Amino acid sequence: MSADNDMLDDRQAGHLRHFRNLARQPVNDWSLMQGRAAGQEDFGAYRFQLAYMAYALALAHRHRLPAAPGAFKPTFERLMEKILQPEVWTYWARVSRGGSIFNAHLASTYQEEWNPVVRDNIMYSAYVQSMALLFDYLFDDSRFAAPGALTFRYWSYFWGGGERRFKYDQNSLNEHIYWQMVESGYLGVACEPNCVFQICNQPAILGFRLHDLLNGGSVAEEVTAAYQQAWSRFGRVGENGHYHAMVQPDTMTLRPNAGKAVWVDAWCGTLMNMWNRDFVHRHYPAQRDDLLLPARDGALSVRSAPRPEVMGQKVINDDSDFGWTATWASEMGDADTLQGLLRHADRHMAPRWRDGGLYFPRNDIAEDAQGNRTLVEPMAGNVLLGYASLNVPDGLWRLYNEPWGASQHQDPALVQVDDEVDVLQARYDGTARRLSFTLRAGANGPATQRVTLGRLGDRRWSMRRDGVVVANGRAAQLDAAGVGIRRSDTGDTLVLDCPATGTASFEMQFEGDSAS
């Protein structure tokens, strides 16, 4: 697995471009994203794909390209717009009523609820909460803190009467989820009525931590300590060594992972590592070894549990076992397992390049004639395998526990990047006073593709391209420059033309501090 300072390889850059491609699709164009199940109710639903693309962007920006906010912010903005679209959350009007084997006895208690965050549904509300706070934390942009900035709106002239509009912002939603957590006795907020999953409460904890970093306070510390206490009556791991799936709070009935479902361990382990690292790392080796299937040349696959039958029907659900195992291995820093899984994916899951982006297309066939796993759910093929490739060891843990320094949003950076430009390296070294970045123009873009350099301070600088001096100046003033660099129209940034073909590496060396 690459270290933080390494340049993105073609695979990593391809996954980032695929995220951009999906995010740029028009409203209600969900091409390549529809899974096998209907109704956006299962683990492969749009909300999960959107949220984990956002998390992957956050990890890649935080750990790999910290000086390139402009390469990530537009895609993140589009993902935020999409997760608020009705197609993502109107499933809740149905699911909120209950009626499954876990909450059928409560069906008369739970009425249809259109507000997707007011009760339960942490499997949606926590992702909106954490994404909005991540956006603020990563890009120093508090737009989602404005009243009503997170508004869930639905209206149809075919049915349903008047408009439904539910207004929140990142702070009011965070507060609402916190009090839901408190009212649960810190056991957690339910997904569906009467179903409190360990997994789906982890994103809310990430949101609490981000809110603390942005606003001060120690809510995340309070919640995790109380969560530990609340779950101590059950334990988080069963006698078989695998994470418990959920609790039914009306009877305090525990639902263990008796069938050793891969997604339960891998998803929970990926997320819980951010605040409970020693515990997760301690249980990881035995859990992993119980789920992996070795093949030739170091390739690895996973053993999925058989699909259960419920109320006379076989459950159709995109568990994304293979993809979650890859993200888990990436978070654990288990390079051998991650590379073995990626080797299997490259060999048996038909990787495809589309408009410069890399993904693994949906395939509903479980295995080929030789018994090799070929099943690819959109959640795995669009998102999780890319997430795993972009993450670094303990990536979520470091995001959670090692905040950016105070200068992060003031240091020189690539503040705008045209959509078709691949940024392969972008890092500012404050000790050396050097901004290093590598660019590659996309084949499908316009003839001229640009990057904007900002936050330059008032220092003298010189710029090299592939080792040759091409410009020098002070702040956004140019003393001398070759072709392809100019002051912006606003005069406070520099605009750089990306190379028409191939890659180019740049170093911008600053002299002294801003007062020099």
| Concatenated DSSP letters of 321-364 | HHHHHHHHHHHHT-HHHHHHHHHHHHHHS--EEETTEEE---B-
Residue 321: pLDDT above 70?
A: yes
pLDDT at residue 105, as a whole number: 80
- Rounded CA-CA distance 206/486 in Å is 41
* Ranges of each domain in the chain: 10-401, 413-510
Angstrom distances, CA of residue 260 to CA of 245, 263, 266, 506: 10, 9, 11, 50
Q: Are the C-beta atoms of residues 250 and 184 closer than 8 Å to each other?
A: no
- Summarize pLDDT for 183-221 with one digit per residue, the tens: 999 999 999 999 999 999 999 999 999 999 999 999 999
pLDDT at residue 5, as a whole number: 52
pLDDT at residue 342, as a whole number: 98
Q: Are the C-beta atoms of residues 479 and 414 closer than 8 Å to each other?
A: no
Sign of CA dihedral 386, 390, 396, 399: negative
Residue 107: pLDDT above 90?
A: no
Residue 3: pLDDT above 50?
A: no
- Summarize pLDDT for 452-465 with one digit per residue, the tens: 999 999 999 999 99
Higher pLDDT, 373 or 483: 373
Name the CATH topology of 10-401.
Answer: Glycosyltransferase (1.50.10)
Quick one: tokens of 211?
């809110």
* DSSP alpha helix (H) spans, 391-461: 395-401
* DSSP alpha helix (H) spans, 144-241: 170-183, 198-215, 219-231
- Summarize pLDDT for 259-314 with one digit per residue, the tens: 999 999 999 999 999 999 999 999 999 999 999 999 989 999 999 888 777 777 88
Higher pLDDT, 516 or 422: 422
Q: Are the C-beta atoms of residues 75 and 418 closer than 8 Å to each other?
A: no
pLDDT band at 96 (very low <50, low <70, confident <90, very high): very high
DSSP 296: G
Q: Report which residue type is found at 237.
A: V
Give me the mean pLDDT over the 136-141 stretch: 98
DSSP 99: -
pLDDT at residue 69, as a whole number: 98
Largest CA distance in the chain: 76
- Rounded CA-CA distance 506/89 in Å is 44
Coil/strand/helix, residue 148: coil
Residue 109: pLDDT above 90?
A: no
- Rounded CA-CA distance 342/322 in Å is 10
Judge whether 10-401 and 413-510 match in fold.
no
pLDDT, the chain, mean: 94
Burial class (CB in 10 A: 0-12, 13-18, 19+), 514: exposed
Place of tokens 């569906």: 192
Give me the mean pLDDT over the 375-402 stretch: 98
- Rounded CA-CA distance 308/270 in Å is 24
* CATH of segment(s) 413-510: 2.60.40
Give me the mean pLDDT over the 316-336 stretch: 96
Q: Which helix (H) or strand (E) element contains residue 454?
A: strand 450-454
Angstrom distances, CA of residue 277 to CA of 9, 333, 360: 28, 12, 30
* Paired strand residues for 247: 196, 254
- Summarize pLDDT for 212-242 with one digit per residue, the tens: 999 999 999 999 999 999 999 999 999 999 9
- Rounded CA-CA distance 452/346 in Å is 36
Higher pLDDT, 513 or 145: 145
Q: How far is CA 319 from the centre of its chain?
A: 17
Question: In the Cβ-directed half-sphere of 432, how many Cα atoms lie within 13 Å?
Answer: 9
Spatial neighbors of 181 by CB under 8 A, at least 6 apart, are 188, 189, 201, 204, 223, 227
| Whole-prediction pTM | 0.96
Helix and strand numbers, DSSP H then E, in the chain? 16, 21
Q: Which helix (H) or strand (E) element contains residue 354?
A: strand 352-354
- % of the chain at pLDDT higher than 90: 86
pLDDT at residue 513, as a whole number: 59
- Rounded CA-CA distance 167/153 in Å is 8
